[in-house]
Amino acid sequence: MQHLWDLRATWKPTAWNCNLAVTVNGLIVGAQSAASADFATTRTALTGSFLFLPEQGRGIGTEMRVAILHLLFAGLDAEFAESAAWADNAQSLRVTEKLGYELVGGATKLSRGKPRDQLRFRLSRAEWETRRRDDITIHGLEPCLDLFGMTTHPTVSGSTDVGEAGSSRPAEE
């Protein structure tokens, strides 16, 4: 909880981390986040996620990522989304590959005090557009744009909202 409180307390339009709960049938099964510094200028955010082990392998991880990408690209007019995964995390790597990210580098990082290889990926708006889904709606975003450093949004017309991804599609993975 302290981590979540800290994210909320330190949020600024120029540096934010939007950490969202993921629910299935009313139960929290994970979290999906997007974070950025100077988003209004860079139009780039880093995504991250956590999914409880019993929920893995059911397509939920893909749906989570698709939803946050839709928020970033369709809702906030991002140009790039970035992600990182441990080199041995086959499920995360599969989602990243499926959604069209490009490998842009890697590094050795500490994880629980031990060195591990981490890979970094980037997805462009153009590549996202080739896989963009039409079954995702955004509700209630317009009043929140200032929180993301976006005083206006060129692609938003009328009311916009943040909603669910994949509610009418079966999970794939």
Q: What is the pLDDT of residues 110-149, one digit of tens each?
A: 999 999 999 999 999 999 999 999 999 999 999 999 999 9
Cα torsion 92, 49, 60, 105 to 10°: value is -30
What does pLDDT average to over the chain? 89
Cα torsion 123, 130, 137, 50 to 10°: value is -40
Nearest-angstrom CA–CA distance, 135 and 17:
25
Nearest-angstrom CA–CA distance, 56 and 80:
26
pLDDT at 4 over 90: no
| Confidence category of residue 157, pLDDT binned at 50, 70, 90 | very low
Amino acid letter for position 23? T
SS3 label, residue 163: coil
**pLDDT (tens digit per residue) in 16-71:** 999 999 999 999 999 999 999 999 999 999 999 999 999 999 999 999 999 999 99
**pLDDT at residue 120 in the model:** 98
**pLDDT at residue 3 in the model:** 86
More confident residue, 160 or 114: 114
Nearest-angstrom CA–CA distance, 152 and 145:
7
Read off the pTM: 0.85
Nearest-angstrom CA–CA distance, 101 and 93:
10
Nearest-angstrom CA–CA distance, 124 and 86:
21
Q: Which of 95, 101, 53 is nearest to 81 (CA)?
A: 101
